[in-house]
Amino acid sequence: MIYTIDADKLPRSQDGLQLHNAYVSKDDRINDTAQNDQGLVWPIRSGSATIEIRPTYIQNSTTVEQIVPEIFRLADLLFKSAKAEMFEYGVESEFSRELDDFVHKFDHIAIEAIRRVAFQKDVDQDVLLEALRTLGRIEHSPSYIERLRLLQMGLFAPSAQIRNGAALGLAYLDDPRAIPFIKQAIEREKLSWLRRYFQKVLDQLENTLKCRASSDI
Amino acid sequence: MPRLLRHLRKKNRWQSDEPLPWLEEGDIPADPLDNLSTLQNKLSVFEVNNGLSRIERVAAAMAAKKELIQEFDYIIFDQELLEEIGITISLVDGDTLDNKANSWHRDLIQLSATKLVELAKRLVPTTEPDQILPKRVREVLINTVASGEIDWNQVNLKKERERAEIETEIERLRALRQQNS
């Protein structure tokens, strides 16, 4: 599958230049690294999918290595600037809107960038929860599987707040494919309140599965 | 003995999952107080007793005035605790869009800093938070509107798609009820 990124959606490099006509393809082969004569390939997650960016036209000496790190830098900036925001119950935050926009612009690269930032130790807990909640709420098909995977992974993070946020994100996604992951998370979870939260999410997903099954009959 | 509900706006600050070695024995960290913020020295709670349906109704009532539906985090505690600390309860109607839920509202009044901290010290170590998931909040809101107990025209949800979906569901439910009656 080939994704085309509009030139306007590409980040600017440090000297202000813009990359044109960059194509992204998704390769599901499990390789550590690979490189072809048209561009650079590198693993986004160890042992899983790689993303290949093949620039067909690059201005001056701007190289393709600057694209993905730039997206990662943007994610980091997004999270840092959100620290100053006061999140209010039942109100869509500026951070949530910007995160939504970020995912729409950069698809699954955005999700990897968010994962790298969100799962760091020093991330603000309120921002983290808002991010994981938002990942479950976003309406964006191209990044759906990556978001589902990230939230499933989050159920097993060392941090209780990430586990909690991941479960919440999965509740918003309401995808029964997460059921085996939630069940495993319940078995492993030592905190009673979090185990109770996981159980609620599991109940919801199982109910969703039942409803879908009965509507298929 | 009546049981009271307090909505937690910042559930992740209620209890620390990491040990706090600097905390003196018998004391609690400051973060949980964020969930007990007062206005004019009053704290808003709802009398829910043991009914999950009441809790869910309160969650939906509070969601109705908000821009978007979110998970509803809360704690439940015995009213008896307030008597032990010397906190006064006032029967004051709430200001949600649900009159029934409003009748369950109470204000804890004349709160001094000392009483508030004492309340926090009694609640934080012993009261685990619980949660109503957003999908359930939405379901209860739909049911409450469909039964005429919340006016849909006053509901504040801003996302067009969410409003449209909920409105469709409300109409479907009303039609079903009419069919069955």
The pTM for the full model equals 0.81
Separation CA A170–CA A212 (nearest Å): 17
Nearest chain B residue to A171 by CA distance is B133
Cβ(B33)–Cβ(A176) under 8 Å? no
Task: Tell me the pLDDT band of B1, cut-offs 50, 70 and 90.
Answer: confident
pLDDT in tens, B110-138: 999 999 999 999 999 999 999 999 999 99
Q: Which residues of chain A have pLDDT under 70?
A: 1-66, 216-217
Query: Averaged over B84-91, what is the pLDDT?
Result: 96
Which of B6, B18, B68 has the highest number of chain A CBs within 10 A, making it the mutation to test binding with A? B68
> Is any Cβ of chain A less than 8 angstroms from the Cβ of B172?
no
pLDDT of res. B41: 96
Q: Determine whether the interchain pair B131/A92 forms a contact, defined as Cβ–Cβ distance below 8 Å.
A: no
Cβ(B92)–Cβ(B27) under 8 Å? no
Separation CA A7–CA A3 (nearest Å): 12
By CB neighbour count within 10 A (0-12 exposed, 13-18 middle, 19+ buried), where does A195 fall? middle
**Closest residue to A90, CB basis, from B12, B67, B131:** B67
> Is any Cβ of chain A less than 8 angstroms from the Cβ of B44?
no
Pairing state between β B72-78 and A20-27: unpaired
Separation CA B12–CA B81 (nearest Å): 24
> Which has more confidence, A56 or B163?
B163
Separation CA A133–CA A118 (nearest Å): 12
- Please give, rounded to a whole number of angstroms, the shortest distance from the CA of B36 to a CA of chain A: 14
pLDDT in tens, A89-133: 999 999 999 999 999 988 888 999 999 898 887 888 889 999 999
CA dihedral A57, A59, A61, A67 (to 10 degrees): -70
Q: How many CB atoms lie within 10 A of CB B143?
A: 17
Residue with tokens 């690979």: A34
Nearest chain B residue to A91 by CA distance is B67
Q: Determine whether the interchain pair A193/B129 forms a contact, defined as Cβ–Cβ distance below 8 Å.
A: yes
Query: Averaged over B19-48, what is the pLDDT?
Result: 93
Q: How many CA atoms lie within 13 A of B136 on its CB side?
A: 21
Task: Name every chain A residue with its beta carbon within 8 A of the beta carbon of B69.
Answer: 90
Task: Name every chain A residue with its beta carbon within 8 A of the beta carbon of B71.
Answer: 133, 168, 171
- Please give, rounded to a whole number of angstroms, the shortest distance from the CA of B66 to a CA of chain A: 5
**Closest residue to A91, CB basis, from B12, B13, B66:** B66
- Please give, rounded to a whole number of angstroms, the shortest distance from the CA of B16 to a CA of chain A: 10
- Please give, rounded to a whole number of angstroms, the shortest distance from the CA of B85 to a CA of chain A: 26
pLDDT of res. A168: 96
- Sequence-distant (6+) residues with CB within 8 A of B6 are B35, B36, B43, B44, B45, B74, B75, B77
Complex confidence, ipTM = 0.89
pLDDT of res. A23: 35
> Is any Cβ of chain B less than 8 angstroms from the Cβ of A161?
yes
pLDDT of res. A194: 92
The interface residues of chain A toward chain B in range 78-117, judged by CB-CB distance below 8 A, are 88-92
Residues in chain A: 217
pLDDT at residue B152 tops 90: yes
pLDDT of res. B51: 80
